[in-house]
Structure formats: structure tokens, C-alpha cells
């Protein structure tokens, strides 16, 4: 990652010595043509205050104020140069003027040399102070660069943390989106399960109602079958009683016939006729019993067919119901078989008794 700051953006300030030189180093004024000025007192240059290292690191990068320009020392005139050189003759006047001119030039050169020395010393002090200030500023700049580098590292670290936070935010948003999708899917599944539960409850209620209806129908069929059994039992008992009564009458008639056969032959024919009538009545009773049995069977069959039709319409064909219907059919078949067997036995007995009567009558 590129740093938002560059150390080259903080260059060191250039030394500001030219202004001091241009201010302090000035050409001396031309020497006066007249008598030299009086001697002046030479003031030493004021010491330049050295800034502390700790404070210079945080102060702005400015050079100290230059010292005031020193006073120019004027050397005393040489001995014998206080006035014009006396001339003894006109031939030496020119030499005196030349010497005087040279003396003036020497004085001017001496003054210039003193000024240059003072300016050189001032420049040296200013340069030393400027170098020290530049060194301090360089040290402060280096420290500032270190601090700027540390700040840049902190900024880069903050940027990295910001990128990580953004990445975590994106991951959190994705997780939140995924959780929302899962919640929507769970809600849809819950709605679907609620609908299925409602359908299952309706199916359960329908099945319970159907089962209760089937149980009621089975109870009705059982009651009807029990009633049929009672009616059949009563009819069979009544038929048995009638048959026993007829057998008793036949036995009594046979006994009377046997007893009367020994008394008179004519009575035998009447007795045979009576027996024939009794047999006819018995046959009519038998036919009536068969007719009653057939009607009973037909009524039972009709009721069973009606019950079967009701069962078919109900649409409930459970295994228990089929077992009960099959048991009822088996019981009905067994009852019919017993009735047929009883009829066959009664017919055989009547045939046997008829043969006995015929044999007795022929004898």
C-alpha cells in the first residue's frame, strides 16, 4: 500500500546566510579627504543565544536573528602623520603629497581590513550558529521523519484493520443473508407442515367418523343377526314341538291302530283311512313347515343382502367386518344345512313309518 505521505515532502530549509552577508558585508564608505575621524570604542559582538536541543525539535525551522553590525575600529594614525609633512623645499612637496596620499590609502586599507575582519568573525559566528541550527533542524527533521513513518505505519495498520473490519462486515452480511434465507425456508416449511398437519387432522377425523360409523353398522348387523338367530331358534323349537306333537299323535294313532287291528278287521280299514288322512295332514304340515322354512330362509337372505348392500354402500371393508360377515354367512349356511338335514331325517322317518303302516295294513 502506498503511503499518503512522502518524506521528500519535508525538505530541509536552505541556509539563510546570503541575507546576512548582504546585510552585514557592505562596502565601507570612502575615507574622508580631510582629517581622520576620532578613535571610536570597539564593541564586541553580542553572543548568539544557542537554542536548546529539546525545544528546537518542535520550533519552526527559522534561523536566529543576526547580531547588530559591529562598530568599525579606527586605528590611531601613525606617529608623525597627524599633519602635513613639512617640506623644506619645493622639490620635496610632491613626495610629501605622495606620502600623504599613501598614508591615507593605508589608513583606508587598515579600516577596510578591520571591517573585513569584524565581518568575517560575524560571518563565522553566524555560519556556526546556522550550522548548529541546521544540524538541530536536521535532527528534528529526522525525528519528524521517524514519527511520520510511525504514523504512516499506524495509518497502514488502521487501513489493514479497516479492510479486515470491512471483510468481517461482508462476511457478517453474507451470514445474515444466509440466516434470513434459512429463516424464510424454515417458515415456508413450517407453513407446509401446518397445512399437512391440518390435512392429517381432517383425514384422522374422517377416519374416526368412518370407523365409528362402521362400528355402529357392525353393532346393527350383530343385533340383526342375533335377532335372526333368536327367530330361527324359536322357529326351530316351534317346529320341533309340532313334530314331537305329531310324532306323539302318530304313536298314539299307531298304538290305537294296533289295538283296534286285533279287535276288528273293518276297523283296520277305517284306521288305515284315518292313518292316510293323518299322513296327508302330516305331509301338509311338512309342506307348510318347508314353506315356512323357505320363507324364513328367503327373509334371512333378503336381510343379509340388504345388510351386504348397506355395507357395500358404506365403503368400509375392514378385516374385522369381513370376518364378522363371513362368520354370519357360515352360521347361516350351517343353519340351512341343519334344517335340510332335519327335513331329510324327518322325511326318512315318515317314509319308514309309512312303510310300517303299509306292511301292517297288508297283513
User: Is 225 domain-assigned?
Assistant: yes
245 located within any domain: yes
Is 50 exceeded by the pLDDT of residue 28? no
| pTM (2 d.p.) | 0.26
Q: pLDDT category, 291, cuts 50, 70, 90? A: confident
CA 18/CA 25 separation, integer angstroms: 10
The rounded Cα 45 to chain-centroid distance in angstroms is 85
Higher pLDDT, 2 or 146: 146
- Spatial separation of the C-alpha atoms in residues 179 and 69, rounded to whole Å: 84
Helices 319-362 and 93-263: crossing angle, nearest 10°? 10
143 inside domain: no
- pLDDT, position 258: 60
Q: What is the mean pLDDT of the chain?
A: 70
Least confident piece of the model among 42-51, 174-183, 339-348:
42-51
Mean pLDDT within 18-46: 42
Domain that includes residue 246, residue range: 214-362
pLDDT digits (tens, 9 = 90+) for 330-350: 877 787 787 778 778 777 877
Is residue 30, in this structure, part of any structural domain at all? no
Instruction: Tell me: pLDDT of 72 over 60.
Output: no
Torsion of CA 100, 103, 104, 109, to 10 degrees: 160
Percent of the chain with pLDDT over 90: 11
The string of DSSP letters for 75-118 reads: PPPPTT-SSPPP-SSTTTHHHHHHHHHHHHHHHHHHHHHHHHHH
**pLDDT for residue 164:** 92
Q: What is the mean pLDDT of residues 57-74?
A: 45
pLDDT at 192: 87
> Per the domain annotation, does 113 fall within a domain?
no
Q: For residue 358, what pLDDT is reported?
A: 60
* Mean pLDDT score, 200-211: 85
pLDDT computed for residue 118 by the predictor:
92
- Residue 84, in any domain of the structure: no
50: CB partners within 8 A, 6+ apart: 129, 132
Range name among 27-31, 204-208, 238-242, 344-348 with the lowest pLDDT average: 27-31
Grid cell 305331509 in the structure block, residue: 283
Q: Which residue would you say has higher pLDDT here, 210 or 317?
A: 210
Least confident of 139-153, 191-205, 231-245, 311-325: 311-325
> What number is the average pLDDT over the span 16-23?
39
Helices (H) and strands (E) in the chain, counts: 5, 0
**What percent of the chain is modeled with pLDDT above 70?**
58
Distance of CA 169 to the CA centre of its chain: 16
Chain position carrying cell 357360515: 330
Of 14-28, 70-84, 176-190, 333-347, the one with minimum mean pLDDT is 14-28
**The pLDDT value given to residue 63:** 43
pLDDT above 50: residue 142: yes
pLDDT above 80 for 136: yes
Confidence of residue 195 (pLDDT cuts 50, 70, 90): confident
CA distance 195 to 201: 10
What is the arithmetic mean of pLDDT over 234-252?
A: 76
Which residue would you say has higher pLDDT here, 14 or 101? 101
Q: 89 pLDDT band (50/70/90 cuts)?
A: low
Cell reading at 157? 495498520
Domain count, the chain: 1
Q: Vertex 266, ends 261 and 272: CA angle to 5°?
A: 65
Residue with the larger pLDDT of the pair 358 and 243: 243
Q: Which of 47-51, 139-143, 277-281 has the least mean pLDDT?
A: 47-51
Q: How far apart are CA 156 and CA 206, in angstroms?
A: 73
Residue 98 reports pLDDT greater than 80: yes
Q: Is residue 218 part of a domain?
A: yes
| Average pLDDT of the residues in 227-244 | 78
* Domain presence at residue 114: no
Residue 45 has pLDDT above 50, yes or no: no
At 49 the pLDDT is 43
Compute the distance between CA of residue 294 and CA of residue 292 in angstroms, rounded to an integer.
Answer: 5
Amino acid at each position: 500500500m502506498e503511503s499518503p505521505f512522502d518524506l521528500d515532502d519535508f525538505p530541509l530549509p536552505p541556509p539563510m546566510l546570503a541575507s546576512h552577508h548582504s546585510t552585514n558585508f557592505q562596502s565601507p564608505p570612502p575615507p574622508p579627504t580631510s582629517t581622520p575621524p576620532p578613535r571610536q570604542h570597539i564593541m564586541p559582538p553580542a553572543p548568539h543565544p544557542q537554542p536548546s536541543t529539546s525545544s528546537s525539535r518542535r520550533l519552526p525551522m527559522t534561523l536566529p536573528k543576526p547580531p547588530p553590525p559591529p562598530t568599525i575600529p579606527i586605528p590611531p594614525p601613525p606617529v608623525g602623520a597627524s599633519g602635513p609633512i613639512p617640506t623644506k623645499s619645493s622639490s620635496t612637496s610632491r613626495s610629501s603629497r605622495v606620502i600623504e596620499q599613501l598614508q591615507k590609502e593605508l589608513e583606508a586599507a587598515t579600516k577596510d581590513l578591520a571591517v573585513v575582519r569584524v565581518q568575517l568573525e560575524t560571518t563565522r559566528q553566524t555560519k556556526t550558529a546556522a550550522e548548529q541550527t541546521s544540524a538541530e533542524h536536521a535532527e528534528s527533521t529526522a525525528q519528524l521523519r521517524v514519527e511520520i513513518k510511525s504514523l504512516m505505519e499506524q495509518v497502514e495498520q488502521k487501513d489493514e484493520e479497516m479492510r479486515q473490519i470491512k471483510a468481517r462486515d461482508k462476511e457478517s452480511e453474507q451470514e445474515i443473508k444466509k440466516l434470513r434465507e434459512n429463516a424464510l425456508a424454515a417458515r415456508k416449511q413450517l407453513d407446509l407442515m401446518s397445512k399437512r398437519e391440518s390435512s392429517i387432522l381432517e383425514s384422522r377425523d374422517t377416519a374416526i367418523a368412518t370407523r365409528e360409523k362402521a362400528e355402529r353398522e357392525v353393532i346393527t348387523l350383530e343385533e340383526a343377526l342375533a335377532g335372526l338367530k333368536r327367530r330361527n331358534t324359536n322357529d326351530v323349537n316351534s317346529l320341533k314341538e309340532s313334530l314331537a306333537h305329531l310324532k306323539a299323535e302318530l304313536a298314539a294313532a299307531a298304538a290305537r291302530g294296533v289295538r283296534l287291528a286285533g279287535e276288528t278287521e273293518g276297523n283296520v280299514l277305517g284306521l288305515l283311512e284315518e292313518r292316510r288322512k293323518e299322513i296327508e295332514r302330516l305331509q301338509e304340515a311338512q309342506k307348510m313347515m318347508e314353506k315356512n322354512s323357505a320363507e324364513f330362509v328367503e327373509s334371512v337372505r333378503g336381510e343379509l343382502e340388504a345388510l351386504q348392500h348397506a355395507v357395500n354402500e358404506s365403503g368400509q371393508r375392514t378385516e374385522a367386518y369381513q370376518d364378522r360377515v363371513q362368520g354370519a354367512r357360515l352360521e347361516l349356511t350351517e343353519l340351512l344345512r341343519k334344517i335340510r338335514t332335519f327335513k331329510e331325517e324327518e322325511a326318512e322317518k315318515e317314509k319308514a313309518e309309512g312303510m310300517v303302516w303299509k306292511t301292517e295294513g297288508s297283513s
